[in-house]
Amino acid sequence: MNKLETVLYERRGQVALITLNRPARRNAMNAALNRDVTAALELARDDETARARRWRWRQICG
């Protein structure tokens, strides 16, 4: 699997945490973000020890 460039994927206990990480573009969707979100969702789906999935994103106002 390729490294996720625009999404952070981490585990906290039994929770798979997916964070959109394109703050310079206010997390606007593009091809790379779409690819990485799909890959992160597949990671969470295939992780048999994750009991919950949680999304996080930040929009930077400016």
Domains located in the chain, CATH noted: 7-56 (3.30.300.220)
User: What is the amino acid identity at position 17?
Assistant: L
What does pTM read for this prediction? 0.81
pLDDT for the residue 58: 65
DSSP SS3 for 36 = helix
- Tokens, residue 22: 């394109």
pLDDT for the residue 60: 54
Q: Mean pLDDT for each consecutive 10-residue tract of the chain (62 residues)?
A: 86 93 90 96 93 77 48
Q: Produce one character per residue of 12-47: b if its CB has 16 or more CB atoms within 10 Å, e if not.
A: eeeebbbbbbbeeeebeeeeebeebbebbbebbeee
